[in-house]
Amino acid sequence: MTNRRHRGEVALVTGANKGIGRETARRLAAEGVTVYLGGRDEERGEKAARDLAGDAADVRFLQLDVTDQAQIDDAVKQVDEAFGRLDILVNNAGVAIEWGTAVDQVTVEQMRRTYEVNVFGVVAVTSAFIPLLRRSPAARVVNLSSALGSLTLLSDPEQLVTSVGLLAYSSSKTALNSLTVLYAHALREDGILVNAANPGFVATDLNDHRGQLTIEQGADLPVQLALLGAGGPTGTFLGRHDNEEQEVVPW
C-alpha cells in the first residue's frame, strides 16, 4: 500500500517499456504520479503502458528515442500541453553493446553508439525538459548510472569492476556522473534535485540477465530518488551492491 502523497505530480521515465525503467514507472504510478513511459518501440511501449495502467494508475506511452531530437521536442510539447510542467525525470535509457569485446578491440563506432544514448541522449532530454522542470515546485532528475563508472573503484585493482573491462559503457557512465554533478550545481538555485543511482548488478536484457539482483530490487534507488522531497540531497551518487544496504558510491 502507498499513501499516494505524490498524486498530481508528472514524471517521464525514458527507456521504460521493460526492465528497471518499467518497474520504476509502475511504482511511481502507484504513488499517484502521472507517468509518461518513454520508449522507442511504439507497439511494446503502448502494451507496457496498458499493462501498468488501471487501478487509478495513470501511465501514458510517449514515443521517445533519446537520440532523435525531433521526438524529444515533440515529447516536450506533449507534456507541456497536457500539464505545463514536469516534476520527475528519470534518465533510464541506456545501452551496453560491447560484451565480450576486449578493451583494446572496442571500435570508435561502438563508442559513438554508446555515447549517443548514455551521454548525449541524457543531455538532449534533460536540456529540453529543463524549462518544464523549472515550473515544478520541487523537481527531481535521476540518472541511472553504474559502479562501472566510478573512477575510484576502477582505480582499485582489488575491486571487481576492474575485471569487467567495458570501455564504452564504463566511460559513458563516468561521463554521466560528471553530468550529474554539473547539472546539480547549475540547477540548485531552481530547487531541482539531480542525483545518480547505481541500481546494482540487476538481471536485465542489458547484461543478458547475468545480474544477481531482481528488477524490483534494481528499481528501489531510482524510485527513492525520484520521490525525494524539497530540500533533499542533490549531486549525490547512491547505490547498492548485491543485497547490501544503500551506500554512497565514490565518484
- Residue 169 known to be catalytic: yes
pLDDT higher than 50, residue 179: yes
Mean pLDDT, residues 134-161 taken together: 96
% residues pLDDT > 70 (the chain)? 92
Global pTM? 0.94
Segment among 153-157, 193-197, 238-242 with least mean pLDDT: 238-242
Which three cell numbers, joined as nine digits, stand for 125? 532530454
pLDDT higher than 60, residue 209: no
Reported as a pLDDT band with limits 50, 70 and 90, residue 7 is confident
Which CATH code is given to the segment(s) 10-95+130-146+179-248? 3.40.50.720
Which one from 36, 115, 169, 183 is the annotated catalytic residue? 169
Reported as a pLDDT band with limits 50, 70 and 90, residue 215 is confident
Q: Where are the domains of the chain?
A: 10-95+130-146+179-248
Which three cell numbers, joined as nine digits, stand for 158? 582489488
Phi, psi angle pair for 182, to nearest 5°: -65, -45
pLDDT tens digits, residue range 45-92? 999 999 999 778 999 999 999 999 999 999 999 999 999 999 999 999
Computed from CA positions of residues 28, 19, 217, 225, in that sequence, does the dihedral angle turn out positive or negative?
A: negative
Give whole-number Cα distances, 63 to 66, 67, 75, 157, 237, in Å. 10, 12, 7, 42, 29
| Single-letter code of the amino acid located at 192 | I
Cβ atoms within 10 Å of 214's Cβ, excluding its own:
14
Model pLDDT, residue 1: 39
As a whole number, the mean pLDDT across the chain is 92
Model pLDDT, residue 241: 57
